[in-house]
A = this chain, B = another copy of it.
C-alpha cells in the first residue's frame, strides 16, 4: 500500500537540467547544456596535495564530526574575504556551510516560505534555485531582466505585493549572463530596504568576472536584509559540494537549528581540504588563472558562433561566468531546434524553463564544458540547424 505524499511533492517543479545530464552522457553526444565547470581548469595537483597534508597532520579530524554550522577556520576565511573583497564585515558565526549552494536555497525556502507566500524571481531566472523554492509552495512573481539587470519598476510593483523573498543573481546571471549595473544595484537595495522582503544574493559566478569582480555586493549595501550565497562549485570543485550562506545576525539561531535538523553538518573532509588548498595557494592569483581560462574559452566559442551562425540569430557577450544566451528570431520557438540538435548529436539547454513568462525563443549555451574540438563541431551542427529552421 502506498503512503500519500505531502503537497510539497506535487508542488516541486520538474527540472529539465538533470534529465539533460543523462542525454549529454550518451556516447558521442556534444553538450553545451549543463553547468559543469571545465575539468582542465581544476587544480587537481593542488587539491591532492591539500588532501595529503591534512591527513598527514591529523588523520582523524577530517573523518570525524565537526561543528554543525561548518568548519570554523574555513568560515573565518570566508568572513575575511567578505571584509577584504566584498565590502562588508561579518562574524564567522553568520557564515553557514552547506552541501553546495543548492542547499542554501532549500534552507531559505524551508525557513521562510509557508505555502501561498509570495516570492520574487528574475525572468529568466536560475531554474535549479526556483525548483528548490517551489517545494515550499510559494506564488512566484517574475520580474523581467533587462541588459542592465532586473527591471526595477517591475520590482517595485512586485514588492508592493509583500513577497517574503527576492532571489537574484547580480553577477553573470545564470542563464542570461547579465550583470546588474551599479545603478540597478542601488535601486534594488533601496527598494528592498524596509519592505519586509529578504534579498537573496546568489554569488555563484561572482568570482568569475573575466576582468575581476563586477559591481558592489548588494550584501554590502543592505547587510541586515540580505543573505549572500556562495559556493566553491564553480571555482574549486563541484563534486566536493561545499557552499555557504552569509546571513544577517537576526537569522543566526534559526539558520543553525534548521541546518542541524536538516543534515547535521556539511562534510568535514572536503571543508578541510578546501581550507588547506586556500591556505597553501594565493587564491586571488589562482582565480586570475581560472578567469583567464574561461575568458579564452569564451573567445573561442564566440568566434565559432560568429563563423557558423546565420544572421537571424542573436547572442550576448558575457563579462564573466560560463554561459552564452542565444535568441532565435522573435516569435519563433526554440523547441524544434532543440529536438533537431539532439538528433544530430548536440544537446543545448532550452531557455523557456528558466522563464515565468515568455522566453520561447531562447537557448542557454555552456562554453566551459566542451573541448575546443567539440566547440568547433557543435557550433557547426548548431549553425546548419539554425540555417535550416531560421533561414536568412
A8-B110, A267-B99 given; A55·B44 CB < 8 A: yes
- B239 close to A111 (CB less than 8 A): no
Chain B interface: which of A59-67, A80-88, A286-294, A348-356?
A: A59-67
Q: Is A9 an interface residue (CB 8 A)?
A: yes
A3-B112, A111-B5 given; A241·B267 CB < 8 A: yes
| Chain B residue with Cβ nearest A257 | B12
Q: Is A197 an interface residue (CB 8 A)?
A: yes
Q: Is A307 an interface residue (CB 8 A)?
A: no
A261-B12, A269-B270 given; A196·B1 CB < 8 A: yes
Report A260-277 CB contacts with B as 1/0, cut-off 8 Å: 111111111110010000
Residue in contact with A18 in the complex, picked from B5, B224, B260, CB distance below 8 Å: B260
- B111 close to A1 (CB less than 8 A): no
| Chain B residue with Cβ nearest A193 | B1
**Complex-state Cα separation, A13 to B117, whole angstroms:** 23
- B42 close to A60 (CB less than 8 A): yes
Q: Is A309 an interface residue (CB 8 A)?
A: no
| Chain B residue with Cβ nearest A48 | B55
- B239 close to A66 (CB less than 8 A): yes
Q: Is A278 an interface residue (CB 8 A)?
A: no
Which of A59, A63, A196, A273 counts the most chain B CB atoms within 10 A? A63
**Complex-state Cα separation, A136 to B37, whole angstroms:** 35
Chain B interface: which of A126-134, A204-212, A375-383?
A: A126-134
For window 1-57 of chain A, which residues contact chain B by CB distance below 8 Å? 1-9, 12-15, 18, 21, 34, 36-37, 39, 42, 44-45, 47-48, 51-52, 55
Chain B residues positioned under 8 Å from A48 (CB to CB): 55, 59
A1-B194, A257-B14 given; A239·B264 CB < 8 A: no
- A241 close to B261 (CB less than 8 A): no
Chain B residues positioned under 8 Å from A103 (CB to CB): 262-264
Q: Is A100 an interface residue (CB 8 A)?
A: yes
- B257 close to A269 (CB less than 8 A): no
Q: Is A102 an interface residue (CB 8 A)?
A: yes
- B269 close to A240 (CB less than 8 A): yes
Residue in contact with A267 in the complex, picked from B14, B37, B47, B239, CB distance below 8 Å: B239
Q: Is A145 an interface residue (CB 8 A)?
A: no
A309 smallest CB distance to B (angstroms): 28
Can you spell out 18 A-B residue pairs with CB atoms less than 8 angstroms apart? A1-B195, A4-B112, A6-B114, A9-B258, A12-B258, A18-B260, A37-B64, A44-B59, A44-B63, A47-B63, A48-B55, A51-B51, A51-B55, A62-B239, A64-B239, A128-B264, A131-B261, A239-B269
